[in-house]
Chain A
Amino acid sequence: MKTIHKTATVALALTMSLGIVSTSFAATGHVAPRHAAAPAISITFWNSGSNPGIIAITNQFNKMYKGRYNIAYRAIPYNNETEIVNSALAAHKGPDVLEESLTPSAPYAYERLEVPIAPILRMGGVDPADFPASMWNGTQVAGVHYVVPIDGLPTLFFWNKTLFKEAGLNPNVPPANQAQFIHDAMVLNNAKKDQWGYVQEPAWPNPFLFPSLLSQFGGKEADPSSRKILFDTQAGVNALTFEYNTIFKWHVSPKNASANENYNLFLSGKNAMVMDGAYQYAPFLQKYGKNLGVSLLPKIGPKEADFLGQNYLWVMNTPGMDAAKEKGIGLYLKFYYDHSAEVAQSATLPTWVPYLKSAAFKKTYPSLYEESLALDSGVLNPLIPNWGTTSSTYLYQDLDLALLGKMSPAAALKDAGQKMQEEMATLLG
């Protein structure tokens, strides 16, 4: 009897819950608009990460163009964008519009999975000259533009003004070149207080720092057209040797630093200077407020350069893509760039020069304004398929070993160069 009773209860519970959720058993492509009026053209937009600025703008766009266009927005976790998007593409269930970092767009372009973006921009009334030059030039695949910049993340220099003061340095004057940097770091090093002038981590944030320094020494990571690896030239050796020396020669950086140490130690006042991406700006600002110093990277090499973390948007060649959808996307892009102020409001750096150069921007978001100055000397990853992921497997692993003292900088770069060149031969395009 008891068993039957139990079975009945379970069955009842199941049926009830099934009833409630039965709608979710039907496959729907998107959440249908509340007021089902005229059939609005639906455009699926997958955003890598949940970006409040984009979400707000998308909602406003949908409201303004209700009945004509509807952007179905979905956020996907950053670190897993590759699996999610590639699986979906393998099944031809990919999105119409995708926003990710730059280099994943390359393989899609080579496979003709992307739609050239220039015509779409024209349809929407967007002028490419209004993008920061560093983020627009050099992003072509075989001479055709496929991607537009959505937000930028330069590499910046942060310092702790209080620690500078205590060490007798002028808190408002950051080091401007390599010599000054070494000098300041040595002064700030204080073994008694367990304080370091600078923390060079072997692994992260090298993907931001190494390309910056490499460019400052006049080098490039690779040539996209010939697929030749260029980071193992003298410029690369100079860049890596600088990092290496902070640990092993000048001793201004601890040995064996583990992940996130530069950040954690900076926040607990045990690290005076940080060279990292602008994503650290917000947490640092929250902690230190006026005591946080921010500037462009010191010129460790002869040139001024910094690596730009980035998010780009592109349009996929899905089965349902047609001129009407493209027009909608063009309009959406215009809307997005016209609302750059909203982007700035969510503490992200917009990539629209008219707004960046406006007085309103400088006044309302002074910290972002400082950041935007770094765009002028920005450098990007080479637009080679899977560069981001294969370089982390080969290049950054060897850099890791070099900074742990296991390999000399020159040897590490040579080894990485060989492996990467071999991998280049197996790529698409």
Chain B
Amino acid sequence: MKMDRVKRTISVVILSIGALCILFPIAWMISTALKPLSDAFDGQLIPSHPTLSNFTALFAPDAAGSVARWLGNSLFVSITVSILVMIIDSMAAFALARLQFFGRTALFYIVVVSLVVPFIALLIPLYLEFANANLLDTYWVLILPYTSNAFGVFLLYQFFLGIPKELEEAAMMDGVNKFQLWRRIMVPLSIPATATLGLLTFMNVYNDFFWPLVATTSQDMRTMTVGVQLMAVGQYNTNASLLMALTLCSVIPMVLAFLFAQKQLTQGIATTGTNL
């Protein structure tokens, strides 16, 4: 018993040291956010002239576009993509894992191949595609390219492989068709993995910079990442305090999403790894 307690204390100590290493830069981040620009990197952890001006910049009417609108755009796009991806990938993964159809193996390998091509090779062709369809600077261009998510299919594929076949057979006996099988049995069972996928997709889309950068140019259609870049990163120098403050504000939705999904997250990924 005593040994146990000693061991636990040791691990808490080690973890605390690690946590301090993680928190050290964050402390500086918060400190910088509370300083005026001229003090930004003066090396003092406690700001000598603390100010909230970097945070009020969020609400100041900026002629380059309103921050609230950018935040709204980011949230809307991220949530929509997450929902679409969860549905599309779940259906495709289910089919790959459990159903027979012509070209199944070929499809699987094609999907995997798409994971290794760097985005920069696809950027211009994709951009031209949307330009020709006259869809630049709209929500379509911000949402559609993310809906093809091979990673998600792969993730859920592993998961569906792990669901016991007996459940499926029992359902077949009761005379459900494939769609009902998917919706009534597979989806509820896979909520942990799907929720994981949803959360990760949400984070990735929310933080994506390069695609929204080129795909939208009007002030109202900007996303948060590009907007922060526009406001805080100048031609030759970066307004570090403003950048830190804006970043801290823009991560709030993600932190909330993470806390909200804690349970699903830790439950979900366990089962996807088993059949690798």
Contact = CB atoms under 8 A, between A and B. Distances in A.
B37 interface: yes
Contacts of A180: none
Contacts of B83: 10, 14
Given A50-B62, A75-B230, A91-B132, A268 B38 contact: no
B136 A77 contact: no
B204 to A, nearest CB: 20
A6 to B, nearest CB: 10
Main secondary structure of the interface of B (DSSP, over half): helix
Interface stretch (B120-128, B150-158, B169-177, B256-264): B120-128
B274 interface: no
Interface string B176-195: 00000001000110000000
Given A21-B139, A75-B64, A75-B230, A80 B213 contact: yes
Interface string B70-100: 0000001000100100000000000000000
A90 interface: yes
A78 B136 contact: no
A410 interface: no
Nearest to A72: B218
A125 to B, nearest CB: 27
A373 to B, nearest CB: 21
Contacts of B210: 83
Contacts of A50: 62-64, 230-231
A136 B37 CA distance: 34
A77 B213 contact: yes
Main secondary structure of the interface of A (DSSP, over half): helix
A21 B220 CA distance: 11
B127 A87 contact: yes
Nearest to A309: B236
A219 B123 CA distance: 40
Nearest to B133: A27
Nearest to B228: A77
Interface residues of A, number: 51
A332 B54 CA distance: 33
Interface string B230-242: 1101111100000
Given A31-B218, A77-B213, A26 B138 contact: yes
B226 interface: yes
Contacts of A101: 235
Contacts of B128: 90-91
A24 B138 contact: yes
Contact of B214 (A30, A87, A283): A87
A277 B38 CA distance: 16
Contact of A27 (B64, B65, B137): B137
Nearest to A285: B38
Contact of B220 (A14, A24, A59, A268): A24
Contact of B43 (A10, A49, A263, A268): A268
A280 interface: yes
Contacts of B220: 24, 31
B247 interface: no
B63 A84 contact: no
B134 interface: yes
Given A52-B63, A80-B229, A287-B38, A277 B236 contact: yes
B237 A267 contact: no
A87 B188 contact: no
Contact of A24 (B42, B127, B139, B237): B139
Nearest to B83: A10
B219 interface: yes
A198 B123 CA distance: 43
Contacts of A92: 131
B119 interface: no
Contacts of B219: 74-75
B221 interface: yes
A46 interface: yes
A13 to B, nearest CB: 9
B200 interface: no
Given A52-B63, A75-B230, A268-B43, A84 B213 contact: yes
A49 B137 CA distance: 18
Interface string A264-278: 100110000000010
Nearest to A13: B79
A90 B218 CA distance: 18
A20 to B, nearest CB: 9
B135 interface: yes
Contacts of A268: 41-43
A27 B131 CA distance: 11
A327 to B, nearest CB: 25
Interface of B: 36-39, 41-43, 62-65, 76, 80, 83, 123-124, 127-128, 131-132, 134-140, 183, 187-188, 210, 213-214, 217-221, 226, 229-231, 233-237
24 contacts: A3-B183, A3-B188, A10-B83, A21-B76, A21-B139, A24-B138, A25-B138, A25-B139, A25-B140, A31-B218, A48-B235, A49-B234, A56-B63, A77-B233, A83-B214, A90-B127, A90-B128, A93-B136, A205-B236, A267-B42, A268-B42, A279-B236, A284-B38, A286-B38
Given A153-B236, A263-B237, A277-B236, 13 more contacts: A24-B221, A27-B136, A48-B235, A50-B63, A74-B218, A77-B226, A80-B213, A87-B124, A87-B127, A93-B131, A268-B41, A283-B38, A284-B38
> What 3 A-B pairs come out closest when comparing CB atoms?
A91-B131, A287-B38, A50-B64
